[in-house]
Amino acid sequence: MAEDLAYQSLHAIGDLLRKREISARELVDFHLARADSLQPRLNAFITMMHEEARRTADELDRKAARGESRGPLHGIPLTLKDLISTKGVRTTSGSKVFADFVPEEDAVVTKRLREAGAVFLGKTNLHELAYGISNVNPHYGAVRNPWDDERISGGSSGGSAASLAAGIGYGSVGTDTGGSIRIPSALCGTVGLKPTYGLVSREGVTPLAWSLDHVGPMARTVEDVAILLDVLAEPTAGAEIGSASEGLEDLPKGLRMGIHADYFGENLDPEVREAVGGAVRDLEKLGLERLDVSIPEVRYQGTCRDVVLYVEAAAYYEASLRKTPEGFSESARELLQLGSLIRGTEYLTAQRARRRVLQAFREAFDRFDVLVTPTVPVTAPRIGEETLSNGEELRPALLRLVTPFNTVGFPALSLPCGYTEAGLPVGLQLAARPYKEALLLKVAHAYEQSHGWLVQRPLLGGALE
């Protein structure tokens, strides 16, 4: 029964709450106990919010008893990546520098979730400053993958993905500057969406690179991600996409999927290649027409994106680095110092090159509806592993297939498309034109429903006994 409750979908648990077959307090107590039990093993949280969560749940139960509802997330336990501001609760950004920072206001996304009735269990662990992809944090410890706790969760939203994979909470909110929602979603076997740039507010979220940062929903199912997106989307931008969760079953006919083999298909682990190839064939069976495509400019996006990231991150942290350099790890200091050495002319040149890449993507996406790729070329590496099974170094390997969509700001989603012989999840990435989230989610939902990936769960052993 406990496992069934842990792995219910957000949609299903919402129905139970509305029918008052379970109370918000019962749900919160269950998930807090589960989080506490698994924390020594997974290290998915930096700060738990026990008292606030129970207080909020009790208030929501009193409202429910009066026939009142706060909104579509009434009583739903969620988590937040610990660089999203929470009023009165510390927000560390995974850094020693901000270890004692307690915001006076909620981030906009925090407010929206509260207004919709969400209950926050805690703040999830992340890569230091969200500036990395392993989620091995020198200050708060590594987040471990629930499928194999000797492996990384991926980052920088690793605590969010790991907790979801372990059945803690029914959704989370992460950030994505170069893959930080999609990488951990792929490695932990969950679903994560990087929306169109600007669709979800970044106000009150610690920045890394202003022109690359995205905030987005994470959950265990595509439908749950869609429900969260409806709450999170900016009202003006949200009007362009409509409701993401309504009509999810209505997959349009005549869709074309782009397959970009000469970049997104290069140097893949054999088991990843096999799983993604199978997913492409399955999408064809669902009615999508395959179109082989090439966007030559994609090979230049990584360089211009890196320059933009290095400079913008260095600009934001310049004062903190000068004042308290000892508060940053050696790797974070090196990255920030690198950004300070890049000239303004180089930054502007990178931004000009970025516009050319954007134009190339716009023209290419006029030919097809969804681009289908692996999310990352390998499955979860072991903690401390620097050279991966495909021969690449850790950082460039995990970034290679996801960063293009930060460079151009297009929406991109990762969802499971299979498991290796060792039981590790493989991620499938789908991308679409700006503000086509509803279409993207319909394709992802149709694929997800055609498979049994949702019933597979990590073997958490005696941690809950």
Which residues are the active-site residues? Answer: 81, 156, 180
As a whole number of angstroms, the distance between CA 335 and CA 129 comes to 11
Tokens linked to 428: 């499938």
**What's the Cα-to-Cα distance from 461 to each of 37, 149, 316, 341, rounded to whole Å?**
12, 11, 43, 49
- The radius of gyration computed from the CA coordinates of the chain, to the nearest angstrom, equals 21
Q: Are 200 and 122 in contact (CB under 8 A)?
A: no
Backbone angles phi, psi at 176, to 5 degrees: -145, 105
Phi, psi of 84 (to 5 degrees): -100, 120
Cα within 13 Å of Cα(324), Cβ side: 10
